[in-house]
Amino acid sequence: MEKFNLQSSNTGQSNEEPLESPLAEKAWQDVRSYFAEVPFAAPAAGFTLRWQERLAEQRLKKQQRQNWRMLALTGGLAIVLLIIFGVSTVSSFDAIKQQVFTMFFRFAYLLAYADAGVDLISSLLNSNLGRFTLPIWILLSLAAAMFSALWGVLYQRITNPRRIQL
């Protein structure tokens, strides 16, 4: 290339003007052949391994930063909600009495409904216990097992959503 630059400067042509001489065409052919002969550069030994390790570290740090941000956000929101709740409940002690009374009243209703459900199930089982044969017991057990497994799978999917790895 130095030879080409020297020759072009001797002819009085600038490098900015297109050269249409056979010498320029020959020089471009030499450059093209040189690029065709030169092998592609390979990364240095261990580069990809170091890059993958650095990428994994960066992802881990990003995940940790995101976790800290979410913790700070939820903690801040919890503090704000506690302050709002504290101010609203302290402002009126009658409201506190009303809330406690309502909470105990609803809890009593929940216990009453649970007791009624247990009574209903026990009466159904006691009255029809002799009518259930072995195949019906097996089917009921299988249905209970399937519903339990379905509940477990759904609980696992809800609590541990699938994460997309890039």
Give the predicted TM-score (pTM) of the model: 0.31
Q: What is the pLDDT of residues 18-69, one digit of tens each?
A: 557 888 899 999 999 988 888 878 878 888 899 999 999 999 999 999 999 9
Q: Would you place residue 87 in the very low, low, confident or very high pLDDT band (cuts 50, 70, 90)?
A: confident
Confidence at residue 8, expressed as pLDDT on a 0 to 100 scale: 52
Q: What is the mean pLDDT of residues 58-87?
A: 90
pLDDT of 164 above 70: no
Q: Would you place residue 126 in the very low, low, confident or very high pLDDT band (cuts 50, 70, 90)?
A: confident
Higher pLDDT, 166 or 86: 86
Distance between CA atoms of 33 and 27, rounded to whole angstroms? Answer: 10
| Structure token pair of residue 160 | 């541990």
Q: Give Cα separations from 94 to 11, 81, 85, 102 (angstroms).
A: 103, 21, 15, 12
> Are 15 and 5 a contacting pair, CB within 8 Å?
yes
Q: Would you place residue 93 in the very low, low, confident or very high pLDDT band (cuts 50, 70, 90)?
A: low
> Are 151 and 144 a contacting pair, CB within 8 Å?
no
Q: How far from chain centre, in Å, is Cα 121?
A: 42
Most confident of 15-24, 124-133, 140-149: 140-149
